[in-house]
Amino acid sequence: MMFDKLHHLTFSTNKNNIHLVERFVEDLCDYYNINSTYFGNILTAVTEAVENAIYHGNRNDSTKKVFLKFEVKPDGFSFKIKDQGHGFNIDSVPDPTDDKADFSKTEGRGLFIIKSLADEVIFHDNGACIEIIFKIASITKQISDERINTYLSKIKSSQKTKKA
């Protein structure tokens, strides 16, 4: 899969489409040489947000779509997950770390996980869209390619010197 600075994935509301998201994230992390620590955080946060879009936003309505948008930003990567629901009030989501909370309920755990793994989380469109930002200081594909080419050039140059 070839990527530019902006990439999209759109799919129907169906929990079986999570594999498309997993593949999307895997391909991005491979392409941009993202290490396994960041990969795990990205995969977990993005799939959690997609599951929220499917279950809470679109309410499992297979006629609705989920939109995933990836963008390279100067300080890292942005993933926007948008559903076709009405959104929600972020302030009404219970805090799962509250010691007075009802632990038999799972409300708020997904957002807690996302916020814990990402560097920044922004809600758009009244909560129907979540933007998850990872400020990755990793080497990019371009830098990686330049390093490899420089290394190969040095090897070729030293081989020529040895033959002479």
DSSP state string for 7-31: EEEEEES-GGGHHHHHHHHHHHHHH
- pLDDT confidence of residue 153: 75
- Map tokens 């916020």 to a residue: 115
In the predicted model, is pLDDT for residue 1 greater than 60? no
Give the Cβ contact number of residue 121 at 10 Å.
17
pTM above 0.85, yes or no: no
32 or 17, which is more confident? 17
CB 13 within 8 A of CB 65: yes
CB 114 within 8 A of CB 47: no
Q: Residue 126 and residue 155: Cα distance in Å, rounded?
A: 56
Q: Per residue in 113-136, pLDDT tens? A: 999 999 999 999 999 999 999 988
Q: For the domain bounded by 6-139, which CATH number is listed?
A: 3.30.565.10
- pLDDT confidence of residue 73: 86
